[in-house]
Chain A
């Protein structure tokens, strides 16, 4: 046993997402297959029934997001997986889940858009959609893996954050990470943490489903456990019923945002390489960060002190990491597979302390280390 289990196995990012979901305790998946995310649905269609879970292919993305919300209300750890066009369709029900505080995981394996785009080609152009795709002020948590190993570990983290904060969590993958294969080690029990939603401790007759508990998160009863309560996308008070009052809206919307923003230290993950003595920073996420990592190593060989800041949590955006970096370096470069989405956040947080240079590709190819190095040399 032992040794074999510790050995690296070859799998794709999408397959690793399936493994991560199973380790996290997923027991419900509803989806509508779409390239380049299909392997996640395929994998869970095979694996979930074997562990007593439910897999259902719905008639479309709207219904699959609704099914995920419903299953989560009944106590399931629920997930769906899609790509850009499907992510657009899911937005209404993602907003419903955010407003009604339903924990669930939505995987978006980004592909080239807009619209049908180039289905088998990569992109990072859903960064803003992951934050603002659904209407109204709402909390957003989104994570971006840069490797197959991280695709597994961040899927577990996504479930944990969803459970702990009672909110949808987006795993923002992309075609490159989703489809590429590399060796990963599947963690053993005890090597990862599993978190579950807080249940009410009061008897059903005393239960106020939307009364904020510790950390502003209301304890959550499973439908079917004897706690009868009302769930609505309308602005509701602590009882869950709508009263049509602006004051309820003020309280609810502020609490939804605050429950996430008041505990950033539990959500924000950033990888930094060489930032201790960096005179120039590259801010990159997902697979582009792999190119950036190589580029800063090449720059250092040429005597240029370059560093990398990689947001792993893309939403909430790690503002302080950028603010600190901007005060330290002479220039910031933001390479991304879109025409400048994360750059907007970097520019906003750099506060003019360091000039921000963009490097963008929208020709369906990954930015290369050479291109980033050339930009480093250009702005240095």
Chain B
């Protein structure tokens, strides 16, 4: 049985979760793994629910959709409430504590992190909350290597924002480290 990781990134439209999903899949491809990224979003550009899903595997991936993720990132209360029931029992839940004040009862391993708060306070840019979240997610789950993730981030962000995104990623890694140490 090959190892397969299934990750769901969820929240509001406009938080950059689909971009985050693309970057994560790209990082896996850079490591020579198989990856499939899919998404679901409403017709609205911002607001509304948004989710991106990534499957990472050593073997070719047939069914491309995620049904029961083993990693769930929830960057809104609605997303947390909606998708937590589908998370595997021994899965990992990462929530943005700015939006998810109270985490519902769960057997999953929970990481409640001030993702949006740090993006605003440390970098003054809420727009990179998705990259902070990616850094933290990769730090606590190890779904891809940190070097591959950084390379994928730098490949996919607009020119001129590399430093900002590198800092966001570092904050995310740090956040993950601190939580793991607890």
Contact = CB atoms under 8 A, between A and B. Distances in A.
B62 A180 contact: no
Interface of B: 22, 25-26, 29, 32, 34-43, 61-65, 67
Interface stretch (A61-69, A275-283, A289-297): A289-297
A176 B36 CA distance: 11
A43 interface: no
Given A181-B22, A182-B36, A369-B62, A120 B29 contact: no
Given A10-B22, A120-B42, A182 B37 contact: yes
Interface in A283-305: 287, 290-291, 293-294, 297
Contacts of B39: 179
A35 B39 CA distance: 14
Nearest to B38: A180
Nearest to B34: A183
A369 B65 CA distance: 11
A291 B63 contact: yes
Contacts of A183: 29, 34-35
B63 A10 contact: no
Nearest to A8: B29
A184 to B, nearest CB: 9
A366 B61 contact: no
Contact of A287 (B22, B34, B42, B64): B64
Nearest to B37: A181
A297 B61 CA distance: 13
Contacts of A8: 29, 32
B36 A181 contact: yes
9 contacts: A8-B32, A176-B38, A180-B38, A181-B35, A290-B62, A294-B63, A366-B63, A368-B63, A369-B62
A294 B42 CA distance: 29
A293 B29 CA distance: 22
Interface residues of A, number: 22
A10 B35 contact: yes
Contacts of A176: 38, 64
A75 interface: no
A295 B140 CA distance: 32
Contacts of B29: 8-10, 183
Contacts of B41: 120
Nearest to A291: B63
A180 B26 contact: no
Q: Which among B22, B36, B39, B43 has the greatest number of chain A C-beta atoms within 10 A?
A: B36
Interface in A10-39: 10, 35
Contacts of B35: 10, 181-183
A61 B38 CA distance: 28
A122 to B, nearest CB: 10
Contacts, number: 58
A215 B51 CA distance: 51
A297 B65 CA distance: 17
Nearest to B41: A120
Q: Which among A179, A180, A182, A287 has the greatest number of chain B C-beta atoms within 10 A?
A: A182
Contacts of A187: none
A273 to B, nearest CB: 11
A10 B63 CA distance: 17
A183 B61 CA distance: 11
A10 B25 contact: yes
Interface in A88-131: 119-120
Contacts of B25: 10, 181-182
A346 to B, nearest CB: 21
A9 B26 CA distance: 8
Contacts of A368: 63, 65, 67
Interface in A146-199: 176, 179-183
Contacts of B64: 176, 180, 182, 287, 290, 366
A290 B63 contact: yes
Contacts of A180: 36-38, 64
B38 A369 contact: no
A223 B22 CA distance: 44
Contact of A182 (B34, B63, B65, B67): B34
A8 B41 CA distance: 27
Contact of A294 (B26, B34, B37, B62): B62
Given A120-B43, A182-B61, 16 more contacts: A35-B43, A180-B37, A180-B64, A181-B38, A182-B25, A182-B34, A183-B34, A290-B63, A290-B64, A294-B62, A294-B63, A297-B62, A365-B65, A366-B65, A368-B63, A369-B63
B61 A293 contact: no
A290 B38 CA distance: 14
Contacts of B42: 120
Nearest to B39: A179
Q: Which among A119, A179, A294, A369 has the greatest number of chain B C-beta atoms within 10 A?
A: A179
A293 B38 contact: no
Contacts of B61: 182
B16 to A, nearest CB: 16
